[in-house]
Amino acid sequence: MTRSIRPLVAGNWKMNGLKADLAIATEVARGYDAALKAAVDLAICPPATLLFPASAALIGSRIATGGQDCSVQPSGAFTGEVSAAMLADAGAAFCIVGHSERRTLHGEGNATVRAKAEAARKALLVPIICVGETREEREAGKALAVVRKQLKGSVPEGLDAASLVIAYEPVWAIGTGLTPTADDVAEMHASIRWDLARIVGKAAAAGVRLLYGGSVKPSNAAELMNVANVDGALVGGASLKAEEFLAIARACAG
Ligand code: 13P
């Protein structure tokens, strides 16, 4: 953790969730008690179809919502796309961009991710920009260089600390049950903060929340959240279970 930074635990539901699953969000809200509220911010990023009802269900809970992706375009003839303004209109405060599943399955490169982050900012959303290396890149000793290049290409210049979140998600740790060692996470997060200073300036970089994501569970959350420069978590599978998501939030609250 970075003592001066208020941590954020965000749940990425991915392509999971029907109306009945809004109960997960309300259960999280019930468990977000005064002690947790004092210590950690929470956000839930449901599929776009649930963004409006989830945001409505969470009014008064102090739990934010977010989109999982947005168009680079503001509006127009782009069938199937969802703009950042639409996400904001549905109640979102955040938008995940550049998730590895978008980079890999939808061929999104750094320039697209950066354009999406800029589109999110124009709609006053806080982009959660995802970066992370593959297993092969880590084994080849290239993890730091790969993430440095992703940051350089994906993070818009001139953002302040409150307008940007970075999520380090090693591709090989997503949905696999595998996690990097605490030492590897510490090395990567220190490197990310250093690299960010070159993009947004030293003062902003010092305050940006750097989330770790990839197989975060109640059983490993405390160890991961205690690593220097880890300011919260981006949680996939475990965010679909209210009790597990809350347990991760408690681990983050310390
Ligand atoms: P898991 O927590 O299921 O590994 O997913 C991580 C992730 O991709 C969050 O964005």
DSSP readout, 158-189? T--GGG-EEEE--GGGTTTS----HHHHHHHH
Q: Is 175 annotated as a binding residue?
A: yes
> Which residue reads 């996939």 in tokens?
236
Token digits of residue 184: 């590897």
Q: How far apart, in whole angstroms, are the C-alpha atoms of residue 19 and residue 184?
A: 39
Q: What's residue 108's pLDDT?
A: 98
Q: What's residue 103's pLDDT?
A: 97
| Ligand 1: residue whose CA is nearest its atom 5 | 236
Cα 103 to averaged position of ligand 1 atoms, centre (Å) = 14
- If 0-12 CB within 10 Å is exposed, 13-18 middle and 19+ buried, where does residue 104 land? exposed
Handedness of CA 19, 99, 241, 84 (dihedral sign): negative
Residue numbers in the chain where pLDDT is lower than 50: none
E-only strand ranges, the chain:
8-12, 41-45, 63-67, 94-97, 126-131, 165-168, 209-213, 232-235
For the whole model, what pTM was predicted? 0.98
Indicate the DSSP class of residue 210. Answer: E
Q: Is 172 annotated as a binding residue?
A: no
The DSSP code sequence of 108-121 is: --HHHHHHHHHHHH
Q: How far apart, in whole angstroms, are the C-alpha atoms of residue 89 and residue 185?
A: 36
Cα 184 to averaged position of ligand 1 atoms, centre (Å) = 18
Ligand 1 atom at minimal distance to the Cα of residue 176: 4
Q: How far apart, in whole angstroms, are the C-alpha atoms of residue 192 and residue 115?
A: 20
Q: What's residue 187's pLDDT?
A: 98
Q: Ligand 1: list residues with CB < 6 Å.
A: 12, 99, 169, 174-175, 213-216, 234-238
Q: What's residue 1's pLDDT?
A: 72
Q: What's residue 254's pLDDT?
A: 83
Q: Closest by alpha carbon to 136, among 91, 94, 171, 99?
A: 171
Cα 148 to averaged position of ligand 1 atoms, centre (Å) = 21
Coil, strand or helix at 42: strand
Q: What's residue 55's pLDDT?
A: 98
* Domains annotated on the chain, with CATH: 8-91+98-237 (3.20.20.70)
pLDDT digits (tens, 9 = 90+) for 140-156: 999 999 999 999 999 99
99 is catalytic: yes
Spacing of C-alpha 227 from chain mean position: 17
List the catalytic residue out of 101, 108, 137, 169.
Answer: 169
Q: What's residue 128's pLDDT?
A: 98
